[in-house]
Structure 1
Amino acid sequence: MADEASERHASWLELFFDLTVVAAAAQISHRLHGAETIGQVAICAAMFYAIWSVWTATSVYANVAGEHTRRRAVLRTMLGIGVMAASVPGVWPGLLPGHSGEPHGGSRTIAFTVAFLICRGIAAQSASRDGKVIGFWPATQGVMAAPWVVALFVPAETAYWLWFGGIVADLLFSVMGARNPKAMEQRASSIRQQRESELRRAQWFKWLPFRRRDEEPAKPPLISVARVERGHLDERLGLFVIIVLGEALAQVVAANTDLDWDWQVGLASLAAFWLLIELWQLTTLYGFTPAPRSTTPLEPWAALLAHLVVTGAIVAMAAGLGGLIPEAGEHLETKERWYLFGGLALYFVISGVAGVIGRVRLRWFLGWQIPCLLVSVLVAALGHPLPAWSLAVVAAVVPTWFYSYNRLVKG
């Protein structure tokens, strides 16, 4: 009981920080809805990763810092995410359908890139000042900035690959570092040398005439490998999923504002609302990885990767719902159908991976996870003959069946 009473929960600062994600998810979902090529979709995915990585780095830092979290650092990062969100409509303007007024590498692209690098740097500096080595997600304490900066000065065809390379390097750095204990030792040694260098500079500056004699340079903190507070981390990741679901709900509401409400629009909207309810119930039941709880949770680095895919899938579903409702009585465009059911498929892929790691019973795979995954893929690929309202119904039924496992078998 004492452990339960002292369990950490998200602070008011962290909840306030999360509000910026709503604006960012809305902008990316809207941009995704207007995408017409694979390149446009890829850029949307890259922007989502950049915003997700900033949120993750800050949340991981707050997880290990606890009550010592630097409030100003979090608020500055919040401002940075706001700049990134506001820049989304103008990032790589050549990819905007029908828009060519701003040259490659325009002001919004520069603002997005600079804000991203500054925000990641804030998290890295905060953790280093506290003497923490975050081994379970090393990207918190570093970012390969060169690809993002160089991308501002090269042709678009090359810039896309630089963004992709920067993201892959970021993920590999985290995964390989988290799985390699020697990497943590090297990082600790690097931070220790950095702090000692800062101390030497501070000792030299103390002889300057404008420095007060009673000001002594602070000694560097002891360097230690941070331990993850798993309950707090899982709560933060789950709250992020809820926030993204809230943006999907906003898409459903916005799609209804200028429509005549006939039975097809009404049915499609109710089905979309029910779909989001089921995804919310699965999140509250299983957490951010949609699989029955087990005694074998994902490693923190694997949980963060799964979280990236799940939240990205929900953003794609939001874009699909935003395009489906206005076309409720017609045949849905292929891209919108893929957004909705491709997102569902990714959602169930992650559930399968979590289920394998957690050693969930075989009947769950055969009766729930695999059928839901197959239906999602088949409707995404072959669902064009179906009217849009019926696709919304199918999209709502699939997670409803997925959720029924808890009632039919475990209940």
Structure 2
Amino acid sequence: MELYFDLIFVFAMREVAHGIVEEPDWARVFGALGLFATLWWTWIGFAVLYNRQGDDRLATYRLLVLAGTIPCAIAATQAHHAFERHPAGFALALAGARLVLAVAFLLGGRSGPEARRTGWSYLASAAIFALSAALDGPWCYVLWAVALVQEAGFLLLGDRRDQPRERSRTARLRALFKPPANARLAVDAGHLAERFGLFMIILLGELVIAVGVAAVGRQHQDTGYWLSVSGGFVLAAALWWVYFDSAADVNERLLRLSGGNPALAYSLYAGGHLLPAFSLLLIAASVDLSLHEDPPGTAPWFVTVGMAVYFGGTRAFSSPARSAWVRLLRLLATAATVCLALLGLVLPAPGVVVAAAAWAVGAAVLVTVLRRDRLGRVDADPMAFLRDR
């Protein structure tokens, strides 16, 4: 059921990436991030719905998820209009998706009052998105931000309202590793890890498609052509390795050890994956641009900045040591990732892609070397591991 639902977002992500390719400047990148965030939180709403209440034996939830695919698909078709500052169709489609989520959570009586509060929150978001369709200019996007913030708070953080506010960092970390008082609010760690892993696969798929489409469009198949195409595919494989060989397992273990704490799920997945996930979309768009016959000057920077954000989000350069030298080395590694774009001064854009692929392979090797130590530290003292991150 959920794999079918994800097909809609394959199309949606492609449209957002295409928006960057059409107008490759930083203003368009930030606009794409805004559209991505709205789609991201829409997808998360359905992921959490099924995590807490879904059951393939219950036709009600299957029908609701199927119903949700319709407004989500319409939103995907309207993404390019949103880029052109005509967001009404996109906003109304997102309002429809939230109306479906509101009905689904309000029907979830077995999850108690928290589910009903989440349902009312989605009703409020649906109204806000519908209202934004009547507005022009920045106020439309301000309303989107308001809707996303309030629904995110209810979705995975609603059970924290009645808890005392912890001031020290140690106390806050300790609270993250307490199972929720209401067992019905516990997050299924295995299911959530699988869902977010599949979404990362969708985004890596955009990179594979970008390489393939750009390769088909090239007329001259010389040595540089084969190097750039191979480099693009190697880059995709290395980025897959960086996430799934370490970060995916670490996040799932942390959430399991917390007893499915919703606030930790929010930190690790809903909020923690947002920028790394978008960075994959940015890398896909930039590789597409780099393999064009006449790539823009921003293409190498899109690749390297995207990689730096991805490595930061997946903690590829993290280390158990906490010395100042280690922190400095991490900072230098991040800066070196970004500065790979300077190779564009002496190499064509496809050459930068090849260099980025080689750098990503090095990061994958580092992740593999540190994998056992990271997992051991998680099992030994998850609070200390999270504090050191």
With the shorter chain as reference, the TM-score category is 0.7 to 0.9
Inter-partner Cα distance in structure 2 for 1:291 and 1:367: 25
Distance 1:66 1:148, change over 3 A: closer
On the 8 A contact 1:309/1:347 being kept in 2, the answer is yes
After TM superposition, the structure 1 = structure 2 runs for residues 11-160 of structure 1, keeping only pairs within 5 Å, are 13-67=1-55, 68=58, 70-94=61-85, 105=86, 109-131=87-109, 132=111, 142-143=121-122, 144-145=125-126, 147-160=128-141
Deviations 1:114-160 (A, max 9, x none): 11111122123212211225969x86762434553343333324434
Give the aligned partner of residue 240 of structure 1.
199
On the 8 A contact 1:274/1:396 being kept in 2, the answer is yes
1:56 CA drift (Å): 0.8
Q: Is 305-314 or 375-384 further displaced after alignment?
A: 375-384
On the 8 A contact 1:289/1:354 being kept in 2, the answer is no
- 1:300 and 2:261 matched: no
The letter for the 1-side match of 2:339 is: L
1:340 CA drift (Å): 1.4
1:230 CA drift (Å): 0.8
Deviations 1:282-327 (A, max 9, x none): 2331244888977978910112111222211101110001001124
Inter-partner Cα distance in structure 2 for 1:269 and 1:407: 25
Deviations 1:154-210 (A, max 9, x none): 332443444444445555665764643459xxxxxxxxxxxxxxxxxxxxxxxxxxx
On the 8 A contact 1:57/1:139 being kept in 2, the answer is no
TM-score (norm 2): 0.75
Inter-partner Cα distance in structure 2 for 1:388 and 1:352: 27
On the 8 A contact 2:231/2:353 being kept in 1, the answer is yes
Structure 1 counterpart SS, 2:291: helix
Give the aligned partner of residue 333 of structure 1.
296
The letter for the 2-side match of 1:128 is: L
Structure 1 counterpart SS, 2:298: helix
- 1:280 and 2:243 matched: no
On the 8 A contact 2:316/2:366 being kept in 1, the answer is no
Determine which of 256, 262, 268 is the counterpart of 2:222. Answer: 262
1:51 CA drift (Å): 1.5
Inter-partner Cα distance in structure 2 for 1:373 and 1:289: 23
On the 8 A contact 1:33/1:320 being kept in 2, the answer is yes
Inter-partner Cα distance in structure 2 for 1:175 and 1:227: 10
Distance 1:247 1:20, change over 3 A: same
On the 8 A contact 2:121/2:150 being kept in 1, the answer is no
Inter-partner Cα distance in structure 2 for 1:354 and 1:236: 25
Structure 1 counterpart SS, 2:217: coil
Distance 1:113 1:90, change over 3 A: same
Structure number, greater radius of gyration: 1
Inter-partner Cα distance in structure 2 for 1:170 and 1:353: 31
After TM superposition, the structure 1 = structure 2 runs for residues 189-228 of structure 1, keeping only pairs within 5 Å, are 225-228=184-187
On the 8 A contact 1:291/1:351 being kept in 2, the answer is no
Q: Is 55-64 or 279-288 further displaced after alignment?
A: 279-288
The letter for the 2-side match of 1:388 is: A
Distance 1:229 1:292, change over 3 A: closer
The letter for the 2-side match of 1:88 is: A
Distance 1:151 1:129, change over 3 A: closer
Inter-partner Cα distance in structure 2 for 1:39 and 1:71: 39
Give the aligned partner of residue 345 of structure 1.
308
On the 8 A contact 2:299/2:349 being kept in 1, the answer is no
The answer to which structure has the higher helix fraction is: 2
On the 8 A contact 1:29/1:319 being kept in 2, the answer is yes
The letter for the 2-side match of 1:31 is: G
Inter-partner Cα distance in structure 1 for 2:302 and 2:112: 38
Inter-partner Cα distance in structure 2 for 1:60 and 1:399: 32
Count, aligned residues: 340
Identity of aligned residues (%): 23
Inter-partner Cα distance in structure 2 for 1:179 and 1:75: 31
| Structure 1: tracts of 5 or more residues without a match | 1-12, 95-104, 184-222
Inter-partner Cα distance in structure 2 for 1:134 and 1:340: 45
Inter-partner Cα distance in structure 2 for 1:292 and 1:55: 19
Structure 2 counterpart SS, 1:153: coil
1:60 CA drift (Å): 0.7
Structure 2 counterpart SS, 1:91: helix
Give the aligned partner of residue 334 of structure 2.
373
